[in-house]
Amino acid sequence: MHWSSSILRAAATSVAASLLLGCGDGGTTADGRTKVAVQLNWVPEPEFGGFWQAELDGEFAKVGLDVQLISGGPGVPAAQLVASGKAAFGVVSGPELLSINEQGASLVAIFATYQGDPTAIMVHESSPWRTLAELWASDATLACESSLPFVIMLNRTHGGSRLKFVGHSTGLADFVNDPRLAKQCFVFAEPVTLELQGIRTRVFPARESGFDPYTAVVVTSRRYLDENPGTCRAMVLALRRGWVRYLEDPAAANAAMTKLNPAMSLEAMNLAAEKQRFLVEDETTRAHAVGWMTSDRWRTLAEQMISLEKLKAVPSTLEGDVFWQPPVAPPLGGDAG
Amino acid sequence: MSRWRTRLLVIAPPVAVIAATLLAWWLVVRIFEVPAYLLPAPGAVLDAAWSDRERLGWGAVSTAISATSGFAVAAVVGVTIGSVLGLSRFLERGFYPLTLLLQMVPLIALAPIIVVWLGYGTPAVITSAAIVAVFPVIANTLGGMRSIDRELEEVFTLARAGAASRWWRLRLPAAIPSIVTGLRIAAGLAVIGAIVGEFVSAYAGPRAPLGMVIVAAMRDFRTDLMFGAIGLAAIVGFLLFGIVNLGGWLLLRRWHASAREPSR
């Protein structure tokens, strides 16, 4: 390569790197802990209970990390922020990880908070629909992203749909106001909030469609993992401990989260924490550790996404490329960084 | 100067700027090796748009209908309100701040409540487009009505013209250049308003409007398709702007300096 183009390339790369990596992680605190940011994909809710529990219990500090939990919200591009190096860690869904990797990113899952999909469709208890099949046979309006894999899967199962799909807004006013509106939700979030307001719902979990991916998955970039395996290991270990403690007693973390997200009351947080337990803990996590992932589950997800035309190919290597996790209970000893 | 050369001088500058922008975009992607999920190359955007041409085509038609309808509502309501406020300083002082509020309220925050009021579907999208587009029409109509030559006003007073005659024969014609300016601004804003409204209130499906296509493409990390849909939304805006421009030129060409041949 000609020297001038080499210089141009080097200058361009350094500008790009400073733009892409400018605001992010790195550095250490005065006591030597590694500073890292975790970009959440939603506001503080029990979905992230283990994160706040780890923070409250000093688990991050014990493994040498100084963690900044960055609250998310509608449309926060958590996957892109991690892929571009603006945050060391982020929370995305399993399908998001596979999709963005096929578009040229290189994210690696390190912890699957939910072993299944908490997405659901809720209808008013007074509505005539008692099953997903009945709802799918109706001409109701469904506030749900129609391109979601589980929706496509249900359309296939039920031979199409007469449902009218509209955008999924985050508020509940439209649902409260319209007894014939069905709405996408998380099984333990919106229905709980509505129940506490005296509005009773019937909830159909999306996993009934057969599409049941890992969700609330903590990811990092391939590059960050390769350069900082100790930090990634420390993050997973702290999250495991945080989640175990949160499952035992979520009260303190819920109190901390409700201060950051007053829209969800402490009572709703406590109820939601109880209702989400089955997604955090199952046979696999009991046999290994909270957040544990398997190649079979990732392969199933990739194959389902291919059949739904959401993915072109199953990644050649799953363990190591798509997900990485330290063994259970390794020795600690200040391995961050 | 020949007619062709004149036309070339009109067409060449924007074409050259667009070509240079596309080249710069392509070079940035190439040199920085920017991944497609962050910024796809122009060619990738065109490929994606062509592959999904049917979906994007229907989306553009749907968005164009909503934006044009919202623009039409904004034009009628804006000229009416601007005219009424132009009748009296008292009315203007009372109601103008309220109209200003339409400009200040973030539509993305208002859109969900519009759905609650009007339900999902096209009426809510048209309302969103109209809300965003109406203020420049009001402001420019009012400005036009307020900038009438005092001597012409006195002629109408001497002729003892009634309020209706004065509005129709003096105020409205005098305000037309300002109104056309307001409509030009409103044309672009109506498309923005329609897209934001579609994010929240449009129906999905194979003929979903561009706002829904953008949301779905974002969720699937199809940045190429998202850019294609955004580009198409811009084209819809340009077309609406062009139609308004043409209408304004036809209205003004015989008597107003702004519609005469541009100086070289």
Q: What is the pTM of this model?
A: 0.80
B46 vs B42, B51, B58, B225, CA distance in Å?
Answer: 6, 9, 17, 9
Contact indicator for B129, B70 with CB cutoff of 8 Å: yes
Mark whether A231 and A284 lie in a shared domain: yes
Whether residue A105 is contained in a domain is answered as yes
User: What CATH number should be reported for the domain holding residue A150?
Assistant: 3.40.190.10
pLDDT at A323 over 50: yes
Mark whether A108 and A126 lie in a shared domain: no
Would you place residue B260 in the very low, low, confident or very high pLDDT band (cuts 50, 70, 90)? low
Mark whether A269 and A290 lie in a shared domain: yes
Distance CA A195, CA A190 (A): 8
Closest approach of B58 to chain A, Cα-based (Å): 16
Distance CA A327, CA A316 (A): 22
| Structural domain boundaries, residue A123 | 119-209
Closest partner residue to A164 among B34, B112, B203, by Cβ?
B203
Residues of A in contact with B59 (CB under 8 A): none
Average pLDDT over residues B58-63: 96
Amino acid symbol at B109:
A
Mark whether A266 and A155 lie in a shared domain: no
Residue pointed to by tokens 């009945």:
A134
Mark whether A299 and A178 lie in a shared domain: no
Look at residue B253 in the predicted model and tell me its pLDDT: 80
Percent of chain A with pLDDT over 90: 65
Summarize pLDDT for B108-122 with one digit per residue, the tens: 888 888 988 898 889
Q: Cα–chain-centroid distance for residue B234?
A: 10
Mark whether A205 and A142 lie in a shared domain: yes
Question: How many structural domains are present in chain A?
Answer: 2
Look at residue B163 in the predicted model and tell me its pLDDT: 81
Would you place residue A1 in the very low, low, confident or very high pLDDT band (cuts 50, 70, 90)? very low
Residues of B in contact with A147 (CB under 8 A): 204, 216, 219-220
Q: Comparing B3 with A72, which gets the higher pLDDT?
A: A72
Mark whether A232 and A99 lie in a shared domain: yes
Closest partner residue to A100 among B37, B116, B204, by Cβ?
B37
DSSP assignment letter at A63: T
Whether residue A63 is contained in a domain is answered as yes
**CB of A5 within 8 Å of any CB in chain B?**
no
Mark whether A149 and A104 lie in a shared domain: no
As given in the structure block, the two tokens for residue B133 are: 């587009």
- From its phi and psi, is residue A75 left (phi > 0), alpha (psi between -120 and 50) or beta? left
Q: Comparing B105 with A110, which gets the higher pLDDT?
A: A110
pLDDT at B264 over 80: no
Distance CA B69, CA B237 (A): 13
Mark whether A203 and A140 lie in a shared domain: yes
**CB of A13 within 8 Å of any CB in chain B?**
yes
Interface of A with B in 212-271 (CB under 8 A): none
> What number of C-beta contacts closer than 8 Å exist between A and B?
85
pLDDT at B132 over 50: yes
Look at residue A330 in the predicted model and tell me its pLDDT: 52
**Which three-class secondary structure state does DSSP give residue A313?**
coil
Instruction: Please state which CATH number belongs to domain B45-259.
Output: 1.10.3720.10
**CB of B247 within 8 Å of any CB in chain A?**
no
Whether residue A295 is contained in a domain is answered as yes
As given in the structure block, the two tokens for residue A94 are: 């399993």
| Residue in chain B nearest A9 by alpha carbon | B31
Strand order across the beta sheet in which A181-186 lies: A164-166, A141-143, A181-186, A119-124, A201-205
Mark whether A57 and A203 lie in a shared domain: no
Distance CA B26, CA A317 (A): 32
Closest partner residue to A104 among B35, B112, B201, by Cβ?
B35
Report the candidate in A308, A325, A305, A327 with the shortest Cα–Cα distance to residue A101.
A305
- Average per-residue pLDDT for chain A: 88
Distance CA A136, CA A157 (A): 10
Report the candidate in A276, A274, A258 with the shortest Cα–Cα distance to residue A266.
A258
Percent of chain A with pLDDT over 70: 89
Cross-strand bridge partners of residue A165: A142
Summarize pLDDT for A16-26 with one digit per residue, the tens: 444 444 444 57
Residue pointed to by tokens 């420019």:
B140
A256 vs A114, A154, A251, A264, B42, CA distance in Å?
Answer: 21, 38, 9, 12, 46
Summarize pLDDT for A45-63 with one digit per residue, the tens: 999 999 999 999 999 999 9
Whether residue A320 is contained in a domain is answered as no
Helix, strand, coil % in chain A, rounded to nearest 5: 45, 15, 40
- Average per-residue pLDDT for chain B: 89
As given in the structure block, the two tokens for residue A134 are: 């009945």
Distance CA B47, CA A18 (A): 30
| Residue in chain A nearest B211 by alpha carbon | A167
Residues 6+ apart with CB under 8 A from B10: B262
Mark whether A287 and A237 lie in a shared domain: yes
Residues of B in contact with A100 (CB under 8 A): 37, 221
Q: How many CA atoms lie within 13 A of A51 on its CB side?
A: 28
Summarize pLDDT for B134-193 with one digit per residue, the tens: 999 999 999 998 888 888 888 888 888 888 888 888 888 889 999 999 999 999 999 999
Mark whether A161 and A200 lie in a shared domain: yes
Q: Dihedral, CA atoms, B21, A23, A74, A248, nearest 10 degrees?
A: 160
Look at residue B101 in the predicted model and tell me its pLDDT: 83
Residue pointed to by tokens 């973030």:
B106
Look at residue B46 in the predicted model and tell me its pLDDT: 95
pLDDT at A224 over 60: yes
